[in-house]
Structure 1
């Protein structure tokens, strides 16, 4: 939205945020060592304000900030409780992650008024235009915003002692993962690396399936699983500069999504892996790779469940856009490569093959009937969400990766991002 309408995008930081929270319940604490009251050494402190380390600290700070923003005319979004919106004469958005705050909108004067008011209530630091936020590197040009985690990847490679490793073209091998190798003697390193890889999926949708796969063996990882993690790290070594590109769209913003599933792809429990990719205009804004909770008896059932999960995400996105004030010109379009699943979503006909499907998965049928969503067929070769459901060959993987809004930026001599962003050709 900031790219599309040329809004400012600034970052704020609150110093010692948790100390500003007011406790609404009785909490007692022993007197700190070295600060005991000599007259009443056996007494305890009755806390009025929150402290770091208290379970109530984060909630107390959120309530304090919520009250402050409400007094300034901001209204909390019902669909994202970290988003606050002000529509008094001018539009201002505040997005909160604990003590890190993003502010955006069409008027820089409204931003100055907002930060002035907040500064009178809390110790606020204005960090200027958004450059680095929660490990995400942000570079902006007149044509879009580029998000990457290059520094985070380098730190992760160094932590794994693989900063000098040979690069790999794909994050996974096309062959099935071996589950018969010996168990790892000490799984701590495996769990730490996989946990680090999870955070990378915020800007690297090409890692969704690979990271989802290695996350399934956190409890009892084997040597083959650790080799798969190393393969992902070697892939990252060869794609350090890849990042998510949000371009300014010349046409009217609309939503289109792709839903796919790998039926019975897991060799252990024969569950299916579903995935989706959702675009707002030309920007990829949401994606997922997740194993389904139940075994599907047919590919139609598996795809139907994946369609239902995708439509739930689409519903949430549409509600969020309504809060923001963006009116879509048409209902979202959902693309699937299974004709039977599409027919099941469109027609009120029950069959013996589908009557066992859980009622909650028929949610998509209600969306189609109410015309809040339209479902269309797409051939498997053009199914972008295929990259989120299975390991692929190099040529297939690179082709689908090029459709995921992932780009390699070009920089001028001053280090600023150029207006032209080239597609990755590695």
Structure 2
């Protein structure tokens, strides 16, 4: 065996010495002196012999191998399992289902050493997560850092790993360069959007370069006004630069490269798992690669597609008497799907409903999640398209709610969408915190929540463009709720409603929000409050702004 397995050999030798008699203890073993009973030795095998571990990959095909040849490295402490090394894939694995050939040994390459294998992977047979560690096999037993799941995909980098572009990049790997999802909101996108990486102290230098931090969104910096304005979005040490002046953008990049060691990645094409395709007349956002990765991760790559993510009127509840499933696996699927919502608002309601039962999921909830994955299979390339609008900026939104859709607490679900010049920029589907007594009350509370978000978008747009804030139009499909918003008098239908929900009355009275009626058939937020049948879903999806953006095959 190669010398790099010396640590494993010493570890196994210590395990054996603790189970061998010694004169110091009166011919007793250290194990017996400590535990008060004699050790069992039937599980011991010849160190370094060939062992065949059971292939635990689910959904094996008929011709797939049922086991894999490996090298026995001893007993795993703390469980009744064996430590095995897979020379073919350079992996260390722990498994219980093993068949040994103690008279055989692996044929190692004469020149094999640790320099030939820069790193290996530790695999737990009871949990399919893989753990990346350093090449020293003895260090693997001491310092193992679990890798994250697909819930938050890492951002890609074009810079060479041998030449780090910043101290952050030098001390962390691209795989660990991740962050949580805070909200689903997409700011205004202009042409000439470019990505630059390698900044560590952009906030300290921003004032010297003439940039001002946006008060409404602290990750955005602005410089200049109107045609000379430049916007910079910051995430850790990655920058997205956009503006109307190509000359201004180039000047900014030269200034930054003078101050920092950095890389210019050109036009933005991929950012935090979101694919960006910039065309002459529009910008496309999708997560098709991530969607394929989700389906492959959970063995649904070959599933049959379906036309809707959830069947209408699905009686989803806690199901206390149902068959429990693996809660960890269920949460991993939900986490992956929630990150996909950055470009897939049509999944917001179904994923949100499934997210309510992560504490104790059952087979009923798992069936709903699999339905969502099957819908994703048929809509992999769906995403959002942003076209250049008119010079005059307009912001409008839609607010909707169901009534007592939650079967456990009888609470309603609010849905809202907001558009910047006909381009969808923000959306949300969320269970209300208070039980509504009528559809009027549910719509009233949903509209109040939408109004709060509308004021933030209004202030953000005004700060980025330098123009005076304009009223935001909010479309609601309930005439009773609209009358309640416009009537400042309290009466029997509203006196029991929490005071904070009457905030929208003040917004309407001050002219910040303009509430208008719209027919239910044109209510774009309808898809965020209930499960729709296939035909109606396709219509609402089109109104919402979700498009099939599959790349053309040349």
Bin of the TM-score, shorter chain as denominator length: 0.7 to 0.9
Corresponding residue SS for 2:480: helix
2:474 maps to 1:290: no
Unaligned runs of 5+ in 1: 21-63, 415-426
Q: 1:410 to 1:265 in 2, by over 3 A?
A: closer
> Which residue in 2 is equivalent to 1:167?
305
> Which residue in 2 is equivalent to 1:85?
222
2:272 maps to 1:134: yes
Q: 1:213 to 1:326 in 2, by over 3 A?
A: farther
C-alpha distance in 1 between matches for 2:270 and 2:229: 24
Q: 1:90 to 1:308 in 2, by over 3 A?
A: same
- Asked if 2 retains the 8 angstrom alpha-carbon contact of 1:12 and 1:102, the reply is yes
**Equivalent position to 2:547, from 391, 407, 413:** 407
> Which residue in 2 is equivalent to 1:193?
333
- Asked if 1 retains the 8 angstrom alpha-carbon contact of 2:232 and 2:241, the reply is yes
TM-score (norm: length of structure 1)? 0.82
C-alpha distance in 1 between matches for 2:188 and 2:328: 44
2:446 maps to 1:306: yes
> Which residue in 2 is equivalent to 1:7?
191
Deviation (angstroms), 1:351: 1.0
The 5 Å alignment of 1:10-409 reads 10-14=194-198, 20=200, 64-87=201-224, 90-174=228-312, 175-177=314-316, 179-180=318-319, 182-250=322-390, 252-325=392-465, 327=467, 331-409=471-549
- Asked if 1 retains the 8 angstrom alpha-carbon contact of 2:462 and 2:469, the reply is no
Deviation (angstroms), 1:192: 0.5
C-alpha distance in 1 between matches for 2:545 and 2:285: 11
- Asked if 2 retains the 8 angstrom alpha-carbon contact of 1:253 and 1:328, the reply is no
- Bigger drift between 94-103 and 80-89 goes to 80-89
C-alpha distance in 2 between matches for 1:239 and 1:412: 16
- Asked if 2 retains the 8 angstrom alpha-carbon contact of 1:255 and 1:279, the reply is yes
Unaligned runs of 5+ in 2: 1-185
C-alpha distance in 1 between matches for 2:187 and 2:524: 24
- Bigger drift between 364-373 and 352-361 goes to 352-361
- Asked if 1 retains the 8 angstrom alpha-carbon contact of 2:475 and 2:518, the reply is yes
C-alpha distance in 1 between matches for 2:189 and 2:529: 34
Q: 1:274 to 1:250 in 2, by over 3 A?
A: same
Deviation (angstroms), 1:384: 1.2
C-alpha distance in 1 between matches for 2:524 and 2:549: 22
Count of aligned residue pairs for this structure pair: 366
- Asked if 2 retains the 8 angstrom alpha-carbon contact of 1:11 and 1:103, the reply is yes
- Asked if 1 retains the 8 angstrom alpha-carbon contact of 2:386 and 2:423, the reply is yes
Q: CA RMSD in A?
A: 2.1
- Asked if 2 retains the 8 angstrom alpha-carbon contact of 1:252 and 1:329, the reply is no
TM-score (norm: length of structure 2)? 0.63
Deviation (angstroms), 1:410: 6.0
C-alpha distance in 2 between matches for 1:408 and 1:78: 35
Corresponding residue SS for 1:71: coil
Deviation (angstroms), 1:148: 0.3
- Asked if 1 retains the 8 angstrom alpha-carbon contact of 2:475 and 2:516, the reply is yes
C-alpha distance in 2 between matches for 1:260 and 1:335: 9
- Bigger drift between 353-362 and 129-138 goes to 353-362
C-alpha distance in 2 between matches for 1:143 and 1:116: 28
C-alpha distance in 2 between matches for 1:137 and 1:178: 35
> Which residue in 1 is equivalent to 2:20?
none
Corresponding residue SS for 1:8: coil
- Asked if 1 retains the 8 angstrom alpha-carbon contact of 2:286 and 2:549, the reply is no
Deviation (angstroms), 1:356: 1.8
C-alpha distance in 1 between matches for 2:405 and 2:460: 33
Deviation (angstroms), 1:117: 2.4
- Bigger drift between 168-177 and 182-191 goes to 182-191
C-alpha distance in 2 between matches for 1:292 and 1:4: 29
